């Protein structure tokens, strides 16, 4: 079965500290991986995506993620957290264009001043 797992439903970091949000996937075919951010009462905004090009992907707002096939991971990082990064983050996987997305259960990021 194809799926995505986000470890840690809640992550707290201090302002200026490293942000690391974990995402692992299981798939029998090459996946396409995405990170979305959701602010309260808002829609899903794409942060970055991996679609079989460069394994290190840079996204918006200083976020980046590295696709590691050997570890079946696609962890999201940001060197220095900002208060405005507080939100819900979803990892999602798809297996070909036109196919549904499978979302992880989400990680709520809190940034402590």
Least distance from C-beta 105 to another protein, angstroms? Answer: 5
Q: Closer CB to another protein, residue 34 or residue 85? A: 34
Instruction: Name the site residues for another protein (rule: CB under 8 A).
Output: 32, 34, 36, 41-46, 49, 51, 90, 94, 96-106
Q: Closer CB to another protein, residue 41 or residue 84? A: 41
Least distance from C-beta 14 to another protein, angstroms? Answer: 25
* 3 state SS of 50: strand
Least distance from C-beta 20 to another protein, angstroms? Answer: 20
Q: Closer CB to another protein, residue 44 or residue 86? A: 44
d(CA 46, CA 7): 20
Whether residue 31 contacts residue 23, with contact meaning beta carbons closer than 8 Å, is answered with no
């Amino acid at each position: 079965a194809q799926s995505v797992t986000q470890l840690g439903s809640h992550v707290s970091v201090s302002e200026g500290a490293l942000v690391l949000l974990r995402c692992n996937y299981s798939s029998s075919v090459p996946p396409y991986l995405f990170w979305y951010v959701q602010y309260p009462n808002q829609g899903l905004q794409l942060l970055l995506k991996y679609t079989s090009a460069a394994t290190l992907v840079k996204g918006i707002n200083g976020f980046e993620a590295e696709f590691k096939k050997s570890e079946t991971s696609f962890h999201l990082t940001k060197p220095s957290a900002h208060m405005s990064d507080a939100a819900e983050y979803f990892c999602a996987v798809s297996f070909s264009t036109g196919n549904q997305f499978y979302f992880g259960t989400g990680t709520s990021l809190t940034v402590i001043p």
